[in-house]
Amino acid sequence: MKLSIVLSTQPAQFQAATFKGDLEANLRTIAGLGYDGVELAIRDPKLVNLADMDRLISACGLSVPAIGTGQAWGEEGLSFTDPDPHIRHEAIARIKAHIPAAAHFGAVIIIGLIRGIVRPGTDPDCAMDWLVEAIKECSMAAAAGGVRLALEPINRYETTLINSTTQGLELIEQVGMNNFGLLLDTFHMNIEEPDIEASIRACGARIFHFHVADSNRWYPGAGHLDFRSILLALRATGYQGWVSGEFLPKPEAETAARESIAYLRKIVM
Ligand code: LER
Ligand code: MN
């Protein structure tokens, strides 16, 4: 399986972006550890120079399987489900702005925390309608660029919208676009799914991307998840995509990344 790891291109509060800081040094470290790719967490495409970044990434021989977008929520409060229509509009525009880089790299665009939460006083059905409409609009724009979107079910302590794979699959039905699927993250699945392997089987071909972190959100091998069983289940679906490390930089980023790849390479070829 192809292995990548998350790198944030901007300073970010999100703690499980394993690499932050000096872009070039981090890319060299990631490539030096044997990773095949780097998942870029980009707050706003306007803040990065695509040509410069592409040059650095290519020089390291890395691919870019996915672009994370959650910092637009974490740092700026943009979301698909904010009661303020201007903020919803900005969130949709922000996701569309990722399409050129995603098309260039052949990356999926991640819909994580930018979906937002149901704000107090907002009707949950209304928030779901906003969510479905926003994803339809973004999926249509992405389809025109040959790009896929992956919604990540996120645990209940971080969002009130789409916590489980069951809810994710229902959303897929409502959106009805072939280029819209799911990103499964073992950290969130450990909290929300009664049976992680059964959920992976149920999502099947709708799995567009996959995040790994152990039960404590440290690197795989540092907690109690059974990654051998989980990754066998993933492989059995016919998944051809990436397994991307998104875990806390503990004890620090390089050691965590080294431990993760050593552990994962032992259990998956
Ligand atoms: C992002 O991929 C993620 O897993 C969320 O926990 C963001 O907070
Ligand atoms: Mn994740």
Identify the pLDDT of residue 239. Answer: 98
Residue 194 dihedral angles phi and psi, to the nearest 5°? -65, -30
Identify the pLDDT of residue 195. Answer: 98
Identify the pLDDT of residue 268. Answer: 80
Q: pTM of the entire structure? A: 0.97
Identify the pLDDT of residue 14. Answer: 87
Residues of the chain with pLDDT under 70: 269
- Separation between Cα atoms, residue 159 and residue 135, nearest integer Å: 17
Identify the pLDDT of residue 269. Answer: 60
Q: Is 42 exposed, middle or buried (0-12, 13-18, 19+ CB in 10 A)?
A: buried
Instruction: From 185, 135, 139, 149, select the one nearest 164 (Cα to Cα).
Output: 185
Q: What is the pLDDT of residues 168-206, one digit of tens each?
A: 999 999 999 999 999 999 999 999 999 999 999 999 999
Smallest CA separation from ligand 1 atom 1, residue: 112
Cα–ligand 1 centroid distance for 68 (angstroms): 9
- Residue 213 CA, closest ligand 1 atom number: 4
Cα–ligand 1 centroid distance for 17 (angstroms): 9
Given the structure tokens 């073992």, which residue do they identify?
Answer: 186
Identify the pLDDT of residue 188. Answer: 98
Cα–ligand 2 centroid distance for 246 (angstroms): 6
- Residue 158 CA, closest ligand 1 atom number: 8
